[in-house]
Structure 1
């Protein structure tokens, strides 16, 4: 049987287009086919979403087509006149067939299908038969996005969102949790199509770790978003879709995980659908321990006589840390059909995350001493103990309304969201230093910081079909975000009383308003599809920074308007084979944290925001080919991106409160940046028992710019390669190996070493098909580490960081559903039927 994902891809390709002026030609083409529309319903007139509707031409197989019903059970397809056999299949329903004659006039054809587990209203009692789910492809390509299904991913079972992203094509996750797309870290994250408080405020990897992998239905990778999407994120958009079951009755699954480094988690996905109402709740909690290593070496390139007193000439730092984290989250809501043409949906999300850490550091430093006799060097040894505590809480409430207008497919969608995220941090450190000159000292500090972000989002989208193959879309959107930052430091020297440091005590109010409007048109002319769009966004930013240091107050207002066109072309060579060409203009707005001009506190390194930072604008073009067959999926893409006013991090020497040398990092706009390369993704079901999935990114980069004495000019070439192989010794077992390699990357100021990682996993179906036992090992060779050297104008700094050492987990998933287990409808045998989402099945 053709995968439902392949059918969905066909439907998407049939809605593409070139320009509005070609609509007349599209109409001429449409005369060759006839539009058939309708809906698929079940008992009590319940709408059946995602049903597979196949139209098989009895005389000309090339005129056959297929379609997947939408969430409301509706379908639309264009067919050549003739005689057809209609075949309908849906999970939990009996296979339905009917003869259909298609004439030259558009018509409406509705179908009613029967539940598999009922016969004249009575439940059948068929025991001991296991449901066979349909074939699942882990990766597929649509016109404006690529979709990754983690169902077959054994490596991330029992893990979190960060683990899943490590396996997504075109995506890389660094050792510290930094996510990049084709080497670019400026990614816009969405959950269920919207920015989400689940991802917190400036929390990075912490937020990714708090979303369980078992609650993720799919991930959409949008490398070149259309005008319908918000323009931020020069790398692209990652849209994380959480699970919401569409099945009738009460259904669900529960997954428990244990592992080492010690970790435990319990997550569940529950749903109930009856009549016009659908309810869902996903939730869970986890506990885990972690450890990390961070070693650095600093060397001045200046002679001691050319340096200031107490400047650092050489330093070596060895840091070892451990941590414990606790998290839980709940996502619950409902969808109700108010009328035949209107539906209401609502949901709320809660997330809580806590992290305790302790860090032991040993420092050896050589300082410059200036006296009347000249310059000399002396050594200092420091032992540092630090403890940290972080806590964050997030809440999000969403409300949506869908209204169909008329009978021609018009749709109005309204959505609103309220989001709030709070974070509290407390870090204590105790340093004791011993020098060769006999000047010993003790330094203690306590750093407090809090942040709170509140976001209001409202948007409206409208769809207007124009003829049979064309559609016009338009929308409005408004985002308002308010961030509050509080930062304070108390310090004690040589056992004196703790005193506040004015330079590091501040309060910041940050607000951002973004108003947007878009319009786009898509259609199709023969095998050529096209989509053109334009988006306009106006941004208003207010910064009110108040420091405890007298005279250091900053109030800043920034406003800018940008226009963001997009164009998508596709040419269908054969069924399942097409060329794709697209263009878009994007924007990278500085993170709010980058615009706040306070200094973060650290005795050896500082970070200071830049309120004069401007956004980066980028033009992106891609040319690709997509092949989707029963055994093979292949998607090579050539891409080129060029940005202006590129945000780079400028580092220079500075001094701390004791006069010692520190490295100060500030974000600045410095020149332009170009990225180009080949992104190749694909999967191959070589045999019934073997699937291979690969991702290769060969890319080059050119930087050109200068800020003060730092030159950002440079170019180079690098690579990212990932290969995942899945074996199935029998229909109930799977073994998976994954290897990845990230090549070295060198610029004028930064040289990063290559890195390789090997992961492994295995699963076994248990409990008569209702359970899956999964075991995986992350970083089998314990080689996942980041190693690089920064070359400053008068110093070099080497760094080695390992944030996630070797780990393994054991997970058990149990699935249950209302009623007795029954056979699915008999389907045409597929040579790859063993690859079926690794017994997970659609939720």
Structure 2
């Protein structure tokens, strides 16, 4: 797969498309130009101007590279969560095993390097993209290089999720679906009701769903001394089952004043609750010390509520100038509690642990952007961003005798974050063939925290100059080159700065406790991006690009063995360790087959392939890569619309090879390859009703991994295997 895709992209570079997309300079809208030659005459040129730019038009005309994925991509496979949509986008991978999702990553980089926004704003802490239903989303914007109007906390890139907008949907829409995994049903109902009354427009979007899942895992732990003596040999089998319920509401309200001003407001409410039970069986084949337990069972309850409000006021001024003032707020409540009992082989209770966590988040933000044209093809913008957030967290962890499991158990931890940013940018079409974007952004962040052990303060600021350029090759309207030179950064999150200790059961070098570090500095990156784009027909493209990121103050977790009130325990703490560099190539081919080959079937082809390299200074190779970065990733998708019946069938295949990373001089972490196959069939009863049948993770391969640590003359190895499952789903969609 990884070999075929580049050859396919290269072969398609020489093929001409059948339609010519241009932009009307008077309206900045797409046009189609047709010239027909007869035997004796030439029919005069006819120009037809469309109403809105297509997704491919926006991508083509953007000075700073931006990819748009709208409702067609979101609806294509009938996905039940946004993570399944994101994993098929070029250069995007999802952490965790197939079917369970995880953090969103671009360019193979691990958690925190990819900036994920909702309506251009950072979501509150604890918010997960996996919890958003695709029905709530209007489009996804992917930007590989940072731009000044968004935060430059985007070393890998930015993914902006834009929630539903009222001007697109004209009919009421109802979707009823059910998915089946290992005999467990997960129903979902979503509805969209748009409307307009005079100057007031609205779109009411909501969904309710229930999720049932069962997970299994097997871990083999072995500790061996330098002389070959096995000091521990354990087999741990874990099982868990749970039921979750979720309600999402995302209405959008808009009012247009007589003077042309517009005010928009979109609240987003998400409520999730989950009850689960788990068990763990430990069999020790060798070991000088008795195991912590032989059998354990745990009951857990979690619920969370997030409320986020996005709004903006757009004021039109003289000379086509605009002032766009943004405002927003957020509130989050997360509660969890668990009870864990541990027994020996005779069923005698060895210990009981109760853990509770109460977290409260509040935030408010305000910003604005002033734009003004400076002659034809020249747009100047400047603005500001202000944000304040407050977190309160109380964690209690007790054993059966009521003893605290860590020093700050029961204390109220508070954290306050203040962020200030100023930016300016200039988009300039220097000539019809060359456009450039120059941006500057300064951003400062201050985090303060109070806890029983003392106060924590961390202040950082970053200045980011940004330069993007696009050259439309003369004489070849379908070809263009892009280049970007940028500064970006990755700031430590609040958890890494001030987190209370998280205790690991079966504490070992491969399962350490975790804590924060208040002295962390942000990672700083200088980036260079190059890309060549060839447009095919109305919606096709072949592109080839490359990038380099030079990173200073790299953050990586370090392992230490410390004496605590519970005895010697392994602890993982984040630290700035030095310098790293990553680079890569990214290829994409997307086209309609019948626009390239006459009388070909109506098949859409979507493919992309990425290859990544990285090196961390100060850590011996050959696998001294950035943490969790895949070496390669590829996607191939096909959609076939049959002509004789109203049926569309298709699927997509995602591949990420095994990842082996030397994270430090003592530790090597390995993740097995991922192969995910999703297929679907769509039957259209009429223009308003359709039925979609889909199977995701059809291969259902096990997800293996290993963790190897060598320290103090002892080699600790943990090998894990987690089964995955096929998820079948059916969705009925109707408009009324």
TM range (shorter): 0.7 to 0.9
Q: What are the residue-to-residue correspondences of 1:185-264 with 2, within 5 Å?
A: 185-186=111-112, 187-197=114-124, 201-203=125-127, 207-246=128-167, 251-261=171-181, 262-264=185-187
1:446 to partner: Cα distance? 0.8
The higher radius of gyration belongs to: 1
Counterpart in the other structure of 2:491: 589
Counterpart in the other structure of 2:40: none
Distance 1:380 1:515, change over 3 A: closer
Which of 278, 281, 289 is the matching residue for 2:212?
Answer: 289
Counterpart in the other structure of 1:790: 708
Q: What are the residue-to-residue correspondences of 1:806-817 with 2, within 5 Å?
A: 806-816=726-736
For the residues of structure 2 that align with 1:710 and 1:489, how far apart are their CA atoms? 40
Deviations 1:730-762 (A, max 9, x none): 362111121111112222222332221211111
Query: What secondary structure, in the 3-state scheme, does the structure 1 residue paired with 2:84 have?
Result: helix
Structure 2 unaligned runs (5+)?
Answer: 1-17, 38-43, 508-512, 595-600, 663-667
Counterpart in the other structure of 1:341: 260
For the residues of structure 2 that align with 1:164 and 1:675, how far apart are their CA atoms? 26
Which of 410, 413, 418 is the matching residue for 2:321?
Answer: 410
Contact 2:217 2:722 in 1 (8 A): yes
Contact 2:246 2:272 in 1 (8 A): yes
For the residues of structure 2 that align with 1:590 and 1:786, how far apart are their CA atoms? 29
Structure 1 unaligned runs (5+)?
Answer: 1-5, 15-34, 39-51, 61-82, 92-133, 370-376, 547-552, 817-843
Counterpart in the other structure of 2:48: 87
1:565 to partner: Cα distance? 0.8
For the residues of structure 1 that align with 2:485 and 2:136, how far apart are their CA atoms? 33
**696-705 vs 173-182, greater mean Cα deviation:** 173-182
1:769 to partner: Cα distance? 1.7
The answer to whether the aligner puts 1:555 opposite 2:455 as a matched pair is: yes
For the residues of structure 1 that align with 2:58 and 2:437, how far apart are their CA atoms? 23
Q: What are the residue-to-residue correspondences of 1:125-144 with 2, within 5 Å?
A: 140=59, 142=62, 143-144=64-65
Deviations 1:471-510 (A, max 9, x none): 1111011111111111101211xxxx44444525032111
For the residues of structure 2 that align with 1:238 and 1:342, how far apart are their CA atoms? 28
For the residues of structure 2 that align with 1:414 and 1:665, how far apart are their CA atoms? 43
For the residues of structure 2 that align with 1:342 and 1:717, how far apart are their CA atoms? 47
The answer to whether the aligner puts 1:718 opposite 2:645 as a matched pair is: no
Normalising by the residue count of structure 1, what TM-score does the alignment of the two structures yield? 0.75
Contact 2:623 2:660 in 1 (8 A): no
For the residues of structure 1 that align with 2:423 and 2:485, how far apart are their CA atoms? 16
Q: What are the residue-to-residue correspondences of 1:668-679 with 2, within 5 Å?
A: 668-679=575-586
1:381 to partner: Cα distance? 5.8
Which of 525, 528, 540 is the matching residue for 1:632?
Answer: 540
1:212 to partner: Cα distance? 1.0
The answer to whether the aligner puts 1:431 opposite 2:342 as a matched pair is: yes
Query: What secondary structure, in the 3-state scheme, does the structure 2 residue paired with 1:163 have?
Result: helix
For the residues of structure 2 that align with 1:53 and 1:712, how far apart are their CA atoms? 48
For the residues of structure 1 that align with 2:327 and 2:250, how far apart are their CA atoms? 17
For the residues of structure 1 that align with 2:130 and 2:443, how far apart are their CA atoms? 32
1:616 to partner: Cα distance? 0.9
**623-632 vs 711-720, greater mean Cα deviation:** 711-720
Structure 1 runs (4+) greater than 6 angstroms displaced? 6-9, 57-60, 134-139, 304-307, 709-712
The answer to whether the aligner puts 1:325 opposite 2:244 as a matched pair is: yes
Counterpart in the other structure of 1:452: 360
For the residues of structure 2 that align with 1:681 and 1:329, how far apart are their CA atoms? 34
Contact 2:529 2:546 in 1 (8 A): yes
For the residues of structure 2 that align with 1:518 and 1:9, how far apart are their CA atoms? 33
Query: What secondary structure, in the 3-state scheme, does the structure 2 residue paired with 1:164 have?
Result: helix
Aligned residues: 676
Distance 1:811 1:655, change over 3 A: farther
For the residues of structure 2 that align with 1:633 and 1:535, how far apart are their CA atoms? 32
For the residues of structure 2 that align with 1:541 and 1:284, how far apart are their CA atoms? 36
Normalising by the residue count of structure 2, what TM-score does the alignment of the two structures yield? 0.85
For the residues of structure 2 that align with 1:664 and 1:317, how far apart are their CA atoms? 21
For the residues of structure 1 that align with 2:36 and 2:677, how far apart are their CA atoms? 52
**555-564 vs 283-292, greater mean Cα deviation:** 555-564
1:670 to partner: Cα distance? 1.4
Counterpart in the other structure of 2:467: 567
Deviations 1:139-160 (A, max 9, x none): 9554331122352456641501
Counterpart in the other structure of 1:703: 616
Counterpart in the other structure of 1:542: 448
Contact 1:597 1:611 in 2 (8 A): no
Distance 1:534 1:798, change over 3 A: same
Counterpart in the other structure of 2:4: none
For the residues of structure 1 that align with 2:387 and 2:525, how far apart are their CA atoms? 22
1:653 to partner: Cα distance? 4.0
Counterpart in the other structure of 2:698: 780
The answer to whether the aligner puts 1:646 opposite 2:569 as a matched pair is: no
The answer to whether the aligner puts 1:523 opposite 2:523 as a matched pair is: no
Counterpart in the other structure of 2:375: 467
Deviations 1:582-627 (A, max 9, x none): 0211111111111125211332241111122221111121100112
Counterpart in the other structure of 1:270: 193
For the residues of structure 2 that align with 1:733 and 1:155, how far apart are their CA atoms? 13
1:305 to partner: Cα distance? 12
Q: What are the residue-to-residue correspondences of 1:18-29 with 2, within 5 Å?
A: none
Counterpart in the other structure of 2:333: 422
For the residues of structure 1 that align with 2:228 and 2:133, how far apart are their CA atoms? 56
For the residues of structure 1 that align with 2:283 and 2:57, how far apart are their CA atoms? 50
Counterpart in the other structure of 1:618: 525
CA RMSD of aligned residues (A): 3.2
Counterpart in the other structure of 2:389: 481
